[in-house]
Structure 1
Amino acid sequence: MKRDGHKENRKADAGAAASGSNASEPTAQAAFASYAAPLVSDAIAYANAVRDDPSPEALHKLRVSLRRLRSLWWAFAPLLEKGENTRQRALYKYLATAAGKTRDWDILIELIRHEDSGAGSVAPTLEKARGDALTTSRETLTNADVKHLLRDALTSASTDINTAHERVPLRKFANKRVAASERSLMKRAKRARHAKRSNYAAFHDVRKAGKKLRYLLEFFEPVLSGSHKRTLKRLKQVQKRFGTLNDIVASEVLLRDNAGLFAGSGDAADVLQWLHKERKRRMRSAAGLLRKL
């Protein structure tokens, strides 16, 4: 789990490869591997670490790396064969979901531990459920053979992108894809602003669109026109506030879906009541931020 120490160096290397030192402007096709290969390496390393490290942080890093891969593949979708791109993005989602099933229990346990939610006797049951989920997550990731799946996906995408005769300037391509992602975010934010307060799905769509735009800005920042620092700062605010809302909603759903584990427990009912109140409070907070987008 020491790969984070080299994150900034890898980012600088990718930016240098993308910007290029030659007089000719780099192409999106030529730059793809410099973006994708480090992300694939990270995801493989985190998947391997999950086998030995049961901590919430290991699973979180794996899920984030897979989400970043999905966003990168979305960014390069215009240069990829549609069917293959759809399958590869579905693969990243499947693997992230496998890790996420354990991560959801981690979030619920963390919320109960740090908030006055009346956890009481449910804590041991939550820990056992988390352990069972971790076993399933590990089995799924091991059986999926993440290393070969991701390397094959990278090879396939690289071959697909570089067989095209037409070449697209990277700067033009990056600006266009970021603009498309920004439009998507604004469209979803508008929809959420006019949605009923109980319509969490609209808020969740904003969170996903904001996260994708943030990843694209981080990928392409060295070659984009103009400065995007203010946008990145605002997106981090959105991600933080909407992320805390998502944690509450996901935890409430998880607890209700597993009600049988807590049959007869008054503490579980207390936790659900607390989560319900928190969801309303954080929905109001998220709605307030939406008006500033």
Structure 2
Amino acid sequence: MDMDDDWRLPRPIALFKIDHRPPGLSLLKTGSVASTFASLVTPVVAETVQKARELSANGDAEHFHQLRVAFRKLRALYWAYSPYLEKEATAQAIEGFKHLAAVAGGTRDWDIAGDLLKKAQDSDASVEMLVTAAREKRAQAVMHSQTMIRSDDVEAFLNDVLLRAQTTLQSRCDDLPIRPFARSRVLLAQRALRKRSRRATRGEAIHEEDLHDVRKAGKKLRYLLEFFQPIIKGGRSRILRELTSVQNELGQFNDIVASANLIRSASFDAVPPEVVQKSLQWLEEQKCLRMRAASRRVRAIAS
């Protein structure tokens, strides 16, 4: 799908009731699979709609970041409940979440690239031209995101897909207890992370693609732990802390890789090619350093 296309979000057939109050602990522990979905998803939906509204007047980087995170959390929650959801409706919802996260992420990506280029400028003053150009690209990304992410359309889309999900869950698992279900989905996500970590470390060298797969699996597990931690007996606080630390390391590595790819794919008419090349060379050096650190963390997970 071309992210620059005018991607239309469907209008809702009815409204998904958004309760802005946080879910009570007793409900999360004793509720059904269906009722707990509504309790978990509504705060995320409320935050997503609010962030989308703020984008129209504010191009702050943190708003774009939080919006992208909110859509990623929705994807993780849909994966958790996918055994009881309709495949076609779930695929449509996840496609919408991915698209909107990518649009919101365009601005965030240029923010990250710009910050890295400023560090590269410390070793080569000529990189300042690319820093300025990246700032212009960032401004273009803000305008694009503000045009594509209309709060009314986002709210309508979320109302539609979440109402469908809730209706399906009520008909299929309204009487199933949440605790064993939550425990099984978290365990499955943990196994997937361990499997990808072992796959990444089975050879002497770890590849970028494998680290990216580990990072995605780690994100899914982290979000599920945040959702289900009040439900699962014994908690997972230590795992969540360790996972957050690993994700931070992998995230820094991914920022460098994504920024290099972003710069390679962009055109800079006012920047000499040799300046762009110097910046890419600096990013490559930083990538090697971060990759070693990230690889050590992944090997620790695998073992």
- TM-score norm. by structure 1 comes to 0.89
Of the three residues 45, 56, 64, the one matched with 1:40 is 45
Name which of 168, 176, 198 aligns with 2:176: 168
Larger proportion of helix: 1
Q: What RMSD in Å do the two structures reach over aligned CA positions? A: 1.9
Which residue is equivalent to 2:10? none
In structure 2, the partner of 1:204 is 212
Q: Aligned AA for 1:111?
A: L
Moved more, 244-253 or 79-88: 79-88
* Structure-2 separation of matches of 1:33 and 1:275: 43
State the partner residue of 2:291: 283
Letter in 2 for 1:103: R
Q: Which amino acid aligns with 1:212?
A: K
Query: How many pairs align?
Result: 279
SS class of match (1:145) = helix
Residue 15 (structure 1) aligned with residue 25 (structure 2): yes
- 1:140-195 per-residue CA deviation (whole Å, 9 max, x = no partner) reads 11298111111111111111111226632100000000011001101110111125
**What's the CA shift string for 1:237-267, capped at 9, x where partnerless?**
1110000000000000011111444552433
- Residue number among 59, 66, 76 corresponding to 2:64 in the alignment: 59
Aligned to 1:26: 31
What is the 5 A alignment of 1:82-161? 82-114=87-119, 116=122, 118=124, 119-142=127-150, 145-161=153-169
**Aligned position for 1:179:** 187
Which residues of structure 1 form unaligned runs of 5+?
1-8, 20-24
CA deviation string 1:88-116 (max 9, x = no partner): 11110110001111211111012223453
Contact 1:207 1:243 in 2 (8 A): yes
Shift of 1:223: 1.2
Shift of residue 228, structure 1, vs aligned partner: 1.1
Aligned amino acid, residue 76 of structure 2: S
Q: Is the CA contact (8 Å cut-off) linking 1:59 and 1:103 kept in structure 2?
A: yes
Structure 1 window deviating more from structure 2 (90-99 vs 104-113): it is 104-113
Which runs of 5 or more residues in structure 2 are unaligned?
1-19
Give TM-score scaled by structure 2 length. Answer: 0.87
Aligned-residue sequence identity (percent) comes to 36
Among 246, 251, 257, which residue is 1:249 paired with?
A: 257
SS at match of 1:222: coil
Letter of the 1:70 counterpart: R
Decide which moves more: 147-156 or 237-246. Answer: 147-156
- 1:16 positional shift: 3.6
Aligned-partner residue type, residue 97 of structure 2: Y
Contact residue 84 and residue 169 of structure 2 kept, 8 A: yes
